[in-house]
Amino acid sequence: MAAPLLDATTPEFLDLLQICPIVPGATVSKPLLNLPEGKVVIFAMDAGQEMSEHRAPFVATVHVLDGRLRFGVEAAEKIMGPNDWLLMPANAPHRLTALEPTRFVLTLFKRA
């Protein structure tokens, strides 16, 4: 993954939709911040793009900015749209499919 856009040493204002455009037929991710305490990444997924089931060893949140995702965590599944927010426990199996072009922010809370 590329170097983070931010280093947390100065205030920064970002237009998240501008910095991570939808790429036809692709999933794009851009790290915004990577600190010992946590990591923030923005994702842009074109319609039909999927992430197969996987796990992260950290508590995580997902905040949908635009579009729609089918997001499954453990046995639960929900269609998420703009302004929806999800909290996932560490090591929860999860999977997602973009139902339309979608951008979301993933925040990982690393253990100290």
Residue-wise pLDDT for 25-51, tens only, equals: 999 999 999 999 999 999 999 999 999
Question: Domain for residue 9, yes or no?
Answer: no
Number of independent structural domains in the chain: 1
Question: Domain for residue 36, yes or no?
Answer: yes
Token duo for residue 32: 């915004």
Question: Domain for residue 87, yes or no?
Answer: yes
With beta carbons less than 8 A apart as the criterion, state whether 32 and 5 touch: yes
Question: Domain for residue 23, yes or no?
Answer: no
- Residue 70 pLDDT class (50, 70, 90 cuts): very high
Residues in CB range of 75: below 8 A, 6 or more apart = none
Q: Quick one: pLDDT at residue 94? A: 97
Question: Domain for residue 104, yes or no?
Answer: yes
pLDDT of 21 higher than 80: yes
Residue 84 belongs to a domain with what CATH number? 2.60.120.10
Which residues span the domain enclosing 52?
29-109
Q: What is the pTM of this model?
A: 0.94
CA distance 40 to 56: 13
